[in-house]
Amino acid sequence: MDRISVFFPHIIFLFLLLVFYITMVIWVMISGVITVKIFFWYKRGHSVWPNSVWRMSQQTWERIIYSLISLIAVLIIGFYIVPWIFNGTFHPAPSDNWKEKIKKADAALIFGFGYGTDDRGKMIPEASNDFLYNLVKQQYTGRYLIVQEGVFLSAIRDSSKNMRNKYIRIRMHPHDPNKDVNTFKAASIAIGKMDSLNLKSAIVYAHSMQLKRAVADLRKIASRNTEWKDFEFIVPDISETPFPKKSAQGRTRGKVLYRAVELYVSRVRDTWCY
């Protein structure tokens, strides 16, 4: 990701929106046809709406229907068509020989993705964090896990004594439900933890739609410090990661909303604001 390419989704969105409005005559005609049908339906005595609704002129109805069509078009273009066009940009290519490199990695950095709460209001990890932790158990044979809170909860709930003894689990940062630590800030903290422990390489785990940005953030931060320029961040092959449907963070509950936030907001913020 670079400072120009992160705006490609916005450009395509505006282009498709322009195409929609260039064809405005067609949509106005469609609005007119729908209006005629509605009034025909009304005259046949099928209306369950109050009479005040029908006091509006046919032109007002056409404007309302056209506005609804426009709103639906904007939502479809923004949340479905553009993300579909850029679907291939979400998943980074795994590092060369990552299965061999992971054997020598000093640590695993695991970014949390959403979290839930139980009936007593206590924090629980939810599906995505459990998925990432279980994936680490299968792939990473090293000692250090530097994790965000959601994944840390998955780790401490692990009933396997062997796993509890195998890993040294380190929190990236304290959890504060009133303060959101974004991916870039978490990456900065994670590198600081690596530096303090004299760790030089790490395998990076994050939600499959977040991983590319997380790795880009880590490499960007490391490149700014001469002492960190030799740090290596290894990208594993992570399959489709589940979404935490009951997450306390609304943007992480489903694919449609999250990928839009990732494309239009998160990538631009991490590229331009830090």
State the pLDDT at residue 61. Answer: 73
**Residue 10: domain span:** 5-89
Instruction: Examine the domain organization and report whether 163 and 46 are in the same domain.
Output: no
148 with 74, same domain?
Answer: no
Q: Do 200 and 67 belong to one domain?
A: no
Q: Are residues 113 and 220 located together in one domain of the fold?
A: yes
**Same domain, residue pair 111 and 196:** yes
pLDDT at 161: 56
Say if residue 70 is in the same domain as residue 138: no
Q: State whether 20 and 144 are in the same domain.
A: no
Domain match, 219 and 263 both: yes
Looking at the 3D structure of the chain, how many domains does it have?
2
Query: Rg of the Cα trace of the chain?
Result: 25
- Of 37, 56, 89, the last residue of a domain is 89
Interatomic CA distance for residues 76 and 118, integer angstroms: 34
The residue among 56, 89, 122 that closes a domain is: 89
Nearest one of 114, 153, 151, 149 to 133, comparing CA atoms: 151
Give every residue of the chain whose pLDDT is below 70, as ranges.
Answer: 36-56, 58, 159-165
Whether residues 62 and 188 fall in one domain: no
Q: Are residues 179 and 196 in the same domain?
A: yes
Could you tell me how far CA 38 lies from the centroid of its own chain? 41
pLDDT of res. 104: 95
Q: Are residues 48 and 142 in the same domain?
A: no
Domain's final residue, options 89, 108, 141: 89
The CATH number of whichever domain residue 224 belongs to comes to: 3.40.50
Nearest to 204 by CA among 238, 232, 231, 233: 233
Judge if 159 and 220 occupy the same domain.
yes
Query: How many of the other CB atoms lie within 10 Å of CB of 135?
Result: 18
Give the pTM.
0.88
Q: Are 271 and 240 contacting, i.e. CB atoms less than 8 angstroms apart?
A: no
pLDDT tens digits, one per residue of 47-77: 545 555 556 676 777 778 788 888 999 999 9
Take residue 86 and report the two structure tokens written for it: 């850029």
